[in-house]
Structure 1
Amino acid sequence: MSDAERTPDGRHVVVGGRRWRASDPELPESVRQRLVDLLMEARRGVASALRAGDAEAEERARANVRHAKEGLGERGTPWWEMPVEERRHRWERALRDLGAE
């Protein structure tokens, strides 16, 4: 989403006319990229589980999507409402939950 338009306050990106919460700008680039990679892997897992009709695999994959999105700051408490230290703990927890520590 690097070429997506940002709202004036920088808190959201606009894609196709729809507003989405932007990733936490305090994320180190290496952490952000790792979380994005894990998010894409989890989304592929959801699609694969849906094709296979595997409800348990789908549930696990959706949980991984949630962990990655929370780590990126795109879900949960908005990053702009949290101190930087709490945000760091959140992305570290997401990486742990995703087994990518």
Structure 2
Amino acid sequence: MGDTARSDDGHHLLIGGRRWRASDPELPEEVRRRLVHHLMGARRAVGAARRAGDREGERQARARVHTAKTGLGERGAPWWEQPLPDRRARWERALRALDT
């Protein structure tokens, strides 16, 4: 695995020469833990659905990955361009959708 570094502005992680958006640093630790838990479960579900040839299951699992990553601030509007109330609403929306 390559080296990991954070960009000077803190907005991105640099992993193995690739740039990835960093998670929102304002996420409360419990929220981050729950979102990562959902993300990892959804990623496992993507793999299981692919192995089973279940296209609909894969689509649903990928949608959950997207929701978790959006909640973490890794997708969607850049967290550094949003006021904190909007960021909070983003992660709360994601958790409501994922906790169902």
Q: TM-score range by the shorter chain?
A: over 0.9
> What residue number does 1:70 align with?
70
TM (norm. structure 2) is 0.94
1:15 aligns with 2:23: no
Runs of 4+ in 1 over 4 A off after TM superposition: none
> What residue number does 2:38 align with?
38
Shift in Å, 1:33: 1.2
One-letter amino acid of the counterpart of residue 42, structure 1: A
TM (norm. structure 1) is 0.93
CA deviations 1:16-57 (Å, max 9, x no partner) are 111100000100011111101110100000000000000111
List alignment gaps of at least 5 residues for structure 1.
Answer: none
One-letter amino acid of the counterpart of residue 73, structure 1: G
SS in 1 for 2:14: strand
CA deviations 1:38-85 (Å, max 9, x no partner) are 101000000000000001110110010000000000000000111100
List alignment gaps of at least 5 residues for structure 2.
Answer: none
> What residue number does 1:53 align with?
53
SS in 2 for 1:10: coil
Count of residues in correspondence between the two structures:
98
